[in-house]
Structure 1
Amino acid sequence: MPIFANTTPIGGRPESQLRLPAKKRISTPAAARLSTITEGINALNPGASDVQPRGILRRPSSTAASTIRPTPSRRASRETAGRTSRDTTRSAPPAYDWVPEPGIGDEDLRAPVEGEKLAELRRNGGYMRKRRSRGGWGRLVLIVGLLFLALLALAVGLGVGMTRKHQTNSNSGAQSSQPAGTNPSAAPIQQFPLGEYSMITALRTVATNCTSNPSTWRCYPYTTYDPSDGSTNTSSLANFNWIISDTSSTYATNLTTSMSSQDTPSNLTISSTNNPFSISFTNQSLLYTPASSTNASSAHYTFSFTQSKSVIPSTSLLSSGAAAECFFNNTIFTGTLYLDAASTFPSGSLASETGIGGYTPWPYALEISQTSGGGADVPACYEMVNGGVGNRITTATTPEAGSAECICDYRNY
């Protein structure tokens, strides 16, 4: 009996007709039911079995069948389907199977392909969060930066501290160099006369009695002060820069009254610096002489030492006109610094001078002298050759008496 009523056989051939299976309820697997339905469709549409179905489900080729082996469960399903087909006098088509798309070389074939992003995640360890490494270049740069800032702050702090300390010491030194009682503020750290001073004087007296040739004894600045000639106020100016230091915490000052003897050690020393005379001395002891009615003078400090005074004669000592240099090897250099006697030089505009080199002017009277006696080899003169000492000149001078003196006298009163 045909499946559809009132339908003539296709092509008039009884073989194309399908026999209707017995009316009974058949319980078959899903693959068997699919085979039965497919068989009926093929019967109605001859030649449709040669067309490959569209979509992912397709009949595996011989190559695929040889590559992918059916599992036992699938094999049992096909056997059941075969038996069912034989019961209906038709053979069921082979069961359709899933053919996975080809995978990438290092892809895990046990799982379906889920796209390039998911495959990349699987190759890189999936969704597991990578462990961050501590430190690295960022941390190193941060540590170096912090160390640099710390060193910079330390250097700036030390610089500011040293600058403030230097300013404090300079201010205390300037205050202590002033005479006692002139500073109304608190007592200075250093008491007068400690400090650095400019001894501003004028050349007052020049004597050449120790030499037979007056041109061989000269006194800087080579101009004698004349109170009646105002131009000599500057041309006769001579400045000595000296430093007074203490050797003990107790020393004689202008307020000292306990010392009554003359030339008592004062526990003070004096040194030279930056003077135009090339007179260099270091730590010469100062002797203290208090004021008394016998000497009718102010209290003062004194010091002296022997030096070799060199002089370039004002006239040539040789007939050839060559330069010469004379030495007074036993010249006595003496300084006297008064502690309360007033000074009178310089006057006028020079009275406000602060001293050469920024030193504080000595506030009281002072006297400086260079003295040389006569005698043999006074002076000892030599020819100058290429800036150096050459042969001795014996015909330029004759000896004078030992009591005869050459003097350079400087004062500020």
Structure 2
Amino acid sequence: MDHTPHDASAEANPLRRLTLAELRRRTSMKWRTYPDDVLPLWVAEMDVPLAEPVVRAVTDALARGDTGYPAGTAYAEVFAEFARERWGWGGLAVARTAIVPDVMLGVVEMLKLTTGPGDAVVVNCPVYPPFYQFVGNADRKIVEAPLDPGHRIDLTTLEAAFRTAVAGGRRAAYLLCSPHNPTGTVHTAAELAAVAELAARYGVRVVADEIHAPVVAPGTAFVPYLSVPGAADGLSLLSASKGWNLAGLKAALAVAGPAAADDLARLPEEVGHGPSHVGVLAHTAALRDGRGWLDALLAGLDENRRLLVDLLAAELPAVRYAPAEATYLAWLDCRGLGPVDDPAAVFLERGRVALSSGTDFGSGGAGHVRLNLATSPEVLTEAVRRMAAAVA
């Protein structure tokens, strides 16, 4: 179900609040990986000030000296409320949740609960590069199930991947990216129900990375995987980090379907020591009191998607781009520019714009770049101008 947004007009567009000079004072990865003459539109950090409720929660905690270990279920409770309001989903049961340090570390823990060393994990490529890194480091092997040409799940391809993954009677998992990174695809309820049916048929456990779920374009309905028929033995990872730019304040939530509760109960106690207590407070404040800020952000992102369409049409008509249904990422097909496997390298060297290389996203990524459009319209305009000059 589509959410009914708060009045975004009550909040200023956070993407228009900070100047480039102010942003360059930041010391995070986005702003310290490249020299100052490079416009960094690569890693998933947004060029926004924090929502005021988050700032208050963090500063109040510091003033109290409240910097110990996390405790309680407030994060899960407010996420359940958010899910009911935004997604029409009342199935996020607090009793079937656990706090984990972040989504990817939570993914690894869910894979440990459902598979063993050497088992296969199916992914839909092109997909978020850490899927390959974390799965490999967890001593599991990747089986790719490429998306179809429209960037949607190809059920025939997925079934073949499931068949390969469970060959020899081994356990297997399907690491579902929902919404999908880098394409921004939002899977429909029918698609997810078909996934659940296939997973049940082959005995594959579904672990859903739903970190971008709060960042969905107006008019698009996000469907939690655990809400569809047949998904009762699934596991999901959720976080406020992408919606409110909180990656440096570590906290995420693992959620089990009713038939996976016993699996989640086996999560080692020490995993819950990894999240930041201040991070939990920040995420809780964002979900509870920062919804108006989120709506203003979503409106600003939608403006930037439309701006990017116009900019590319005017400056780089050979680059193909379909505005995403979710995330603040743009997946650009640059193959029309010529036979260059890694256009990101060209845009960086000749245009001084840093983008994510499509080759890092697995099969189907060559000739593409991922652009982070969570920036000001001015920076986005200058970036595309530089990109065009780089290939002129």
Q: TM-score, normalised by structure 1?
A: 0.19
Greater RCO, CA 8 A, separation 6+: 2
Structure with the larger strand share: 1
Structure with the larger helix share: 2
Q: TM-score, normalised by structure 2?
A: 0.20
Q: Which has the larger radius of gyration?
A: 1
